[in-house]
Structures are given as C-alpha cells and as structure tokens.
Structure 1
Amino acid sequence: MAYKIVFFDIDGTLINEEKQVPQSTLEAVKRLKESGVEPVIATGRAPYFIQHLTEQLGIESYVCLNGGYAVYRGKPVYKRAIDRTSIEALVTLAAKHGHSLVFEGEHGYYADRADHFFITEAVTSLKVNLPGVDPDFWKNNEVFQLFLHCEQSEEHLYEELVQELTLIRWHTKAMDVLPAGGSKAQGIAAMLKELSLKPEEAVAFGDGLNDKEMLAYVGLGIAMGNSHPDLLPFADKVTTHVNEDGVKNGLVMAGLI
C-alpha cells in the first residue's frame, strides 16, 4: 500500500538538541511535499510553541499536545480536553507534595506559581517563553495537557491517579499529564478519519516515550537512531541519529524520497 501521509515528532526528530532543523531534514521534507505526500507534525508541544517551525518547514497541519489537539490546514479536526475533576484531583495532590503544575490551553499556558526552579529548568530547555501565572486557569478554560514538575523518584506519589491520567516523563524535572489512555495516536486517528485515510497509509517518525502508540498505530513506524531504548520495540524500522540525516534516511528507507 502506498504511503500518503507522514507524521513527524519534533524534539529529537525534526530538531536536534540545539533545537535546530538539520539542513538534510529541510531538504527531505521539501522533497516529500513535492512528491505529493503530506507532512504533518505530531508533538507533545502546544500549537503556540511550533509556529516558527511550521513556517520554516512549510508544514500546514499538526497534532499537538500529545494528541489532544489536531489541526489540518488551519481547520481544527480534534480536541481532547482533560476532565476538570481529574485536574482538580491532580492539583490537590501536587499541592500536598509541593510540586508545581503548568496548564496548557488552546491559546496559551499558565503555571500555578511564579519562578519555580523546576518550571524554569524544564520549560527553558524547550527554548520557548516561560508560562504566565494563573493557578485557577484550569477552572475556566479547557486544558489539553499539563506539566507536572517532580523528580523521577517522586512519580510513585501519583499512582492513585493512574485510572484518570497518563503521566509521561520528558525531562528530569517534568512529566506530561494526559487523560488516561491519551496519546498522539488519538489525534492521528482523528486526522486520518478526516482525510479518509487508513492507518496503513501513514508513516510516523519519533524518538521518545510519548511516541510509542503513534509508531505502533501507523503502517510504518520509524524510530530515530537517538531514540529512547524503550521506544525501539514499537518501531518497524530504525533510522540514523537526528544529526546524521535521520529523517532523510528514514524517508529513503520508506521509499518516499
């Protein structure tokens, strides 16, 4: 079956540790578009974090917030907000343990406190502006994802919420918080339905723990050479490192360029 659409993770896939897009990736995505195959971003990042990247790559569609928000060529096709009762339970537990939260909405994101070291360290690593401060943001706005800031050794403190929320670590000081069972695959499924495409007609590239479901769901899942070891069992193929033409080589392996 011919592949018609390719979903790309951002950090560690489209961009390297310096948050730069390798020249070979820019050229490969351009060639992919010229061949008539649709490139789509699939990321844990929020839409307001990726505008510069979509412009640089000429990509018009994206699945953001780990599948919680999907847009196809400017049109929202899927939204998956987190239930407020689940957020309230997390807010209560985080306050008990002295951990900070960041609430990610559709158009902006806000921390529950100012100048927290863990927030600054984690968010700064993304090379984006720090969040605003509004501890009650979740009460009056849809929240599609949260950052929970704690050490890995403290994750067990949130085990009582596993029936309501999914926690995925992306930084030594931070985890993404999604609805239970949430993943990039959900947003991808919604976009494929919108386009009347089958999962078998899609390819996905990723490198992190939040890419497991995505790589397993599509017809061809490609892990980057710099991937987390736990991602590899979910991939059909493994390409080279992001800094070693990983995206280009993966697209060649898929027969797309």
Structure 2
Amino acid sequence: MMKAIFFDIDGTLVSFKTHKIPETTFQTLYQLKDKGYKLFIATGRGIDGLHVLNDFPFDGYITLNGQYCYTDEQLIYENTIQKEDLQALLDYLKIHPFPCGFTEEHTKYFNLRDERVDEIHRITLNDDHPAGDCQDVVNHKVYQCMCFVDNDEEKELMKVMPHCISARWHPLFCDVSPIGGTKQNGIDKFLEHYHIDLSETMAFGDGGNDIQMLNHVAVAIAMGNANDEVKAIADYVTDDVDNDGITKALRHFGLLSK
C-alpha cells in the first residue's frame, strides 16, 4: 500500500513553460491529501525558492538536494559544506573563475553573475540573487554551491572538494553538496520520522539529481520531459506536467480513480 509520495519541483511539479504548477496538478495534490497520502517535496531549491508551491501543505521538504530537511514544525536534518572545502573552492575560483552561488538557510548569493546565471533564472525565476565579495563564506553555514561549470570542469572541481558530491539537472551548472545529504537520505529521514516503510513510497522526477531518489523508492516515475538516463531507471514514464503527467501516473497506479 502506498503511503508517501515525493516530488521534485523544476520540470516535475513546475512547468518549464509557465514557471508555475498547473492548477490541475494542485487539484490532484489536494485529492491525494484528502485520501491520506503523505506528500513531500524533494528539490535542489532552498527555502527561499519554495514560493512556487503557493503554500500547499506538504508534509515535509527535502531541500538543497537533501542538505536541509524540515516540516512546518521542526528541522529534521541538516548538512553543511566543510570549511576546508569552501576555502578550496574560493582558491579554485581565483584561478578558474566562474559564477558560483552559495546557498545558506534562507538565501543565496553569487561571487559573480553572467549570461549563464541569467539563463537559469529565466527557467526557475529563483536565481536573481546579488553578486559580491564571498571571501567570508567560510565562516557561514553553506548547504550547497551552484557551480556554473561543464562536465569536464566539474570533475576537476570535485578533486579539490573531497568531502562533497555533485549533481546536475541542467547542462549549464552542477550543484555541489556535502557528502551525506542526498534526496535519498532525506527520504529515509522522513520515513523514520513518520514510521513509513520504504516499500510504501513513490517518487516523481526528471533530472540527474533525481536518479538516486528514483532508484531508492519502491515506485519511480519519470516525467515525459526527463532525460534518457532518468527514463531508463524509472518504473513508469508519464507525460510532462503541462499535460497532466502527475495525474496520469497516479491513475495508472490506481492511486486516483479514472
């Protein structure tokens, strides 16, 4: 019996075309709540990027790819980048400059901005944060870094940040996070909190940073716009969110009536 459903945001709940959650998808989410399912967010966004959810009452939030997990009542788990890795990143940026967003609990700030950052903001409407001097970042609690590098540069960067991992859902950047906090780990934290078994879980995703999560849950749903790697590991490939992909998958598995 299914009890818990986890949703990525960008490209899963939120349309890349309208930058919103379709009203029909909200209606589906409320139907699920009425049926007693526990609903969770599992996203790379931070708290300051959750306005797009329109205050829908989710039962928990796995944010920053698992680094900061909470309910409306309490913090469940947090995981920050080690000071030495932050310093290594700052030193690397002096030699190989690129835009980097440093994410704290309630905000993000960049060392510099260029057209790549602006392009992502056009997609997410969530990356208009200012740029400035970030040298003091080593003294802050940083949960994730948004690094605008390609795949080859990503591999070189990770060599100097040994206590971190990287994941990406867009070719322009990768998210760099501390080891230990993943969407998969966030799922386990909430299952323990709510006393739910892993066999009673389902997740929806579309990007590379969803692969661990989709491999972990009992039933994995890939959106129609997902990349081929995500579709390959999914139990079911649905339509995109603009064409009621969430609802269609839930009906396919019998969680909603047709």
On whether the aligned pair clears a TM of 0.5, the verdict is yes
- 8 Å CA contact 1:60, 1:74 repeated in 2: no
Task: Describe the shift of the 1:155–1:40 C-alpha distance in structure 2 as closer, same or farther (beyond 3 A).
Answer: same
SS of structure 1 residue aligned to 2:15: coil
Deviations 1:31-81 (A, max 9, x none): 1000000111110000110134151x3325211000111112331101011
Task: Quote the residue 1:241 is aligned against.
Answer: 240
Deviation track 1:113-136 (CA, whole Å, cap 9, x = no partner) reads: 3x4333333234310252233403
Indicate conservation of the 8 Å contact 2:24/2:244, yes or no.
yes
| Corresponding residue for residue 202 of structure 1 | 201
Partner of 1:121: 119
Mapped contact 1:12–1:207 kept (Cα < 8 A) = yes
Is residue 163 of structure 2 the alignment partner of residue 164 of structure 1? yes
Seen in structure 2, the aligned counterparts of structure 1 residues 105 and 162 have a Cα distance that, compared at 3 Å, is closer
Question: 2: CA distance between counterparts of 1:100 and 1:128?
Answer: 15
User: Which SS does the other structure have where 1:169 is aligned?
Assistant: strand
Tell me, in whole angstroms, the C-alpha distance in 2 between the residues paired with 1:161 and 1:253: 46
Structure 1 segments of 4+ aligned residues over 4 angstroms from their partners: none
Look up the equivalent residue of 1:128 and give its one-letter code. N
Q: Which residue matches 1:223?
A: 222
What TM-score do the two structures reach when normalised by structure 2? Answer: 0.90
Secondary structure in 1 aligned to 2:156?
Answer: helix
Equivalent residue for 1:131?
A: 129
1:67 has 2:66 as partner = yes
Query: What is the identity percentage for the equivalent residue pairs of Structure 1 and Structure 2?
Result: 31
Letter in 2 for 1:194: H
| In 1, Cα distance between equivalents of 2:115 and 2:73 | 36
SS in 2 for 1:50: helix
Per-residue CA deviations over 1:164-222 (Å, capped at 9, x if unaligned) read 32222333322111124642111111111111212111111101100011111111111
| Residue identity matched to 2:28 | A
Residues 102, 112 of structure 1: 8 Å contact kept: yes
Asked if residue 30 in structure 1 is aligned to residue 42 in structure 2, the reply is no
Give the aligned partner of residue 14 of structure 2: 15
Q: State the alpha-carbon separation in 1 of the partners of residues 47 and 206 from structure 2.
A: 20
After alignment, is 213-222 or 177-186 more displaced? Answer: 177-186
Aligned CA distance change for structure 1 residues 4 and 47 (closer, same or farther; 3 Å): same
CA contact (8 A) 1:240 1:249 kept: yes
Given that residues 162 and 180 in structure 1 are in contact (C-alpha distance below 8 angstroms), is that contact kept between their aligned partners in structure 2?
A: no
Give unmatched runs, 5+ long, in structure 2. none
**Counterparts of 2:138 and 2:155 in 1: how far apart (Å)?**
26
Between the two proteins, the alignment pairs up a number of residues equal to 254
Which residue type is aligned with residue 46 of structure 1? G
Query: For residues 10 and 134 of structure 1, what CA distance do their matches in structure 2 show?
Result: 30
For the aligned residue pairs, the C-alpha RMSD in angstroms reads 2.0
- 1:156 Cα deviation after fit: 4.0
For structure 1, which segment, 20-29 or 125-134, has the greater mean C-alpha deviation from structure 2 after superposition? 125-134
Cα offsets for 1:136-161 (capped at 9, x unmatched): 35222211110111234533432524
TM-score after normalising by structure 1: 0.91
Q: Secondary structure at the match of 1:251?
A: helix
Structure 1: distance between partners of 2:213 and 2:152 = 27
